[in-house]
Amino acid sequence: MLLGIADHDAATVTRKIAFAHIKQFDHIPVQAAILRKELGAAWDYCLDSGDLPETTPNWWRSVLRGKLKSKGRAKLGVKSGVTKRVLSPDEIGKIIRWLPNFSKNVEDMLTLYLWTAVRGAEIEKIEGREVADEGDDLWWTIPKRKTKNAHRDDADDQRVPLIGRAAEVVRRRKEAYGDGYLFPSNSKMGYFPQKSAGVAVYFHMPYSRTHPDQQRVRLPVENWAPHDLRRSARTYLASLGCPRDVGEVILGHMLEGVEGTYNRYSFDKERKRWLTELSNYLEDVAKR
């Protein structure tokens, strides 16, 4: 994506050059926005380090700002629009029953999305050393540096009680892989990425034309991605009566404002109670 500017003198990049370069990728807006962000960060770094003259404008920060927006997932080549999918209990029940059709990595990762409501970026990097029995319960303590709140000075490690199928998945993987990554991979990252779970889900959609020569079973529920399971889990918690603050803490969100500053309660008891309620609910819908 740097073709055309790779050999250009960075100090002489004009607004017109920056605009034209990003504009050519506006048919893939997410990638274009990432490119724009990375180039802006590179210019900022070189301005800070003195490798660019102080008077060099960083046009990447301003061109097409706010104009590179996703058009949503494509279904048979048609953009479906940006949607925030919450799956119905009937749909979730079908998906849970269908999970064994995936590879074990994908099945287990999707199970953790539903039973913990944790982000995929944190699930993919779970390590055995982060999991421990505390009394009768199994807890996963996600280090702050691995969370979305890593940059927040007032953030803490994220505590996740592993209930029901989540505990079964993690215990089995910890026994197999020890203290290292519980979703190990031969990739340079060392772990099985959440993106691979998303690719697997799409591959099994009834409308997927990926590798059309490969026979496969098709999912009974269409138009969803792994992150929709997290959103659905949060919605079910609300429907079960989980207080808003507890639900947000379970998601790994920080309480804002004065409450976030002064309320340092860990909510461990509440996390366990409501994720147990969620586990019971998911088991119920899986039997329907």
Question: Which residue type is seen at 215?
Answer: Q
**CATH class of this structure's domain 89-287:** mainly alpha
Quote the CA–CA distance of 96 and 232 in Å, as a whole number: 13
Give the CA count within 13 Å in the CB-facing half-sphere of 271: 25
Each residue's pLDDT expressed in tens, for the chain with a length of 288 residues: 898 899 999 999 999 999 999 998 888 888 889 999 999 999 999 999 999 999 999 999 989 887 777 655 555 554 554 457 899 999 999 999 999 999 999 999 999 999 999 999 999 999 999 999 999 999 999 999 999 888 888 888 999 999 999 999 999 999 999 999 999 999 889 999 999 999 999 999 999 888 889 999 999 999 999 999 999 999 999 999 999 999 999 999 887 654 444 344 678 999 999 999 999 999 999 998
Residues of the chain by 3-state class (helix, strand, coil), percent to 5: 50, 10, 40
User: How deeply is 98 buried, as exposed, middle or buried, from its count of CB atoms within 10 A (0-12, 13-18, 19+)?
Assistant: middle
Taking CB atoms within 8 Å and a gap of at least 24, the contacts of 184-191 are: 191/124, 191/125
For every residue of 55-77, DSSP letters joined together read T---GGGTTTTT-----B-EETT
Cα Dmax for the chain: 66
The β-bridge partners of 132 are: 139
Question: Which residue type is seen at 220?
Answer: P
Q: For residue 20, what pLDDT is reported? A: 93
Intervals of CATH 1.10.443.10 along the chain: 89-287
Q: What is the pTM of this model?
A: 0.73
Tokens of 230: 């997290």
Quote the CA–CA distance of 76 and 192 in Å, as a whole number: 27
State the angle between helix axes of 194-203 and 226-239 in degrees (0 to 180), rounded to the nearest 10: 90
Quote the CA–CA distance of 35 and 177 in Å, as a whole number: 36
* CA distances to 73, 116, 130, 133, 202 from 170, in Å: 31, 12, 11, 11, 25
* CA distances to 32, 50, 97 from 44, in Å: 18, 10, 50
